[in-house]
Amino acid sequence: MSESLVFGAIASSALVLGSLIGVRFELPKRVLAVLLSFAAGSLITALTSELFEDAHERGGIWRAAVGLFVGAVVFTLLSALLARSRRGEDLRAAGPEVTSNTRAARMSALALIIAG
């Protein structure tokens, strides 16, 4: 049990470290884009290597493919809805510390949480 706790803490440390960096520093758009694309790639890798393989073994290729496609469509639609709902917000109302990079990071983080 203690070994699982240690490995869980190590695996979660990236999330904590990333959130501390995101709160403390304003990252350039290129760096933010690289980090978010890496996170999205990690999610896709986890999906294809773990979830898709199990779905293929249990339900066949067609069910697994349909599930993957439906998941991608739902994620894309929710991401678009989030972007549309946040587009009209006034950044000044949220305070001077909120920048477009911060807002983009929050939106992407919310989209990744929905996908997870």
**1 occurs within a structural domain:** no
**8 occurs within a structural domain:** no
pLDDT at 19 (0 to 100): 78
Dihedral angle of Cα 67, 70, 71, 72, to the nearest 10 degrees: 120
Question: By the 8 A CB rule, do 91 and 100 touch?
Answer: yes
The tens digit of pLDDT for each residue in 48-78 reads 777 788 888 898 999 988 988 888 888 778 7
**104 occurs within a structural domain:** yes
Question: By the 8 A CB rule, do 35 and 27 touch?
Answer: yes
Share of the chain above pLDDT 90, in %: 3
Q: Tokens 């989209």: give the residue.
A: 111
**14 occurs within a structural domain:** no
**42 occurs within a structural domain:** yes
How crowded is residue 69: how many other Cβ atoms within 10 Å of its Cβ? 10
Amino acid at 23: V
Total domain count, the chain: 1
**21 occurs within a structural domain:** no
> Which residue would you say has higher pLDDT here, 36 or 98?
36
**64 occurs within a structural domain:** yes
The sign of the dihedral angle between the CA atoms of 101, 106, 107, 112 is positive
**98 occurs within a structural domain:** yes
pLDDT at 96 (0 to 100): 53
- Span 33-37, average pLDDT: 80
Alpha helices for 47-99 (secondary structure H): 52-59, 61-87, 91-94
Residue 62 is part of which domain span? 28-115
pLDDT at 94 over 70: no
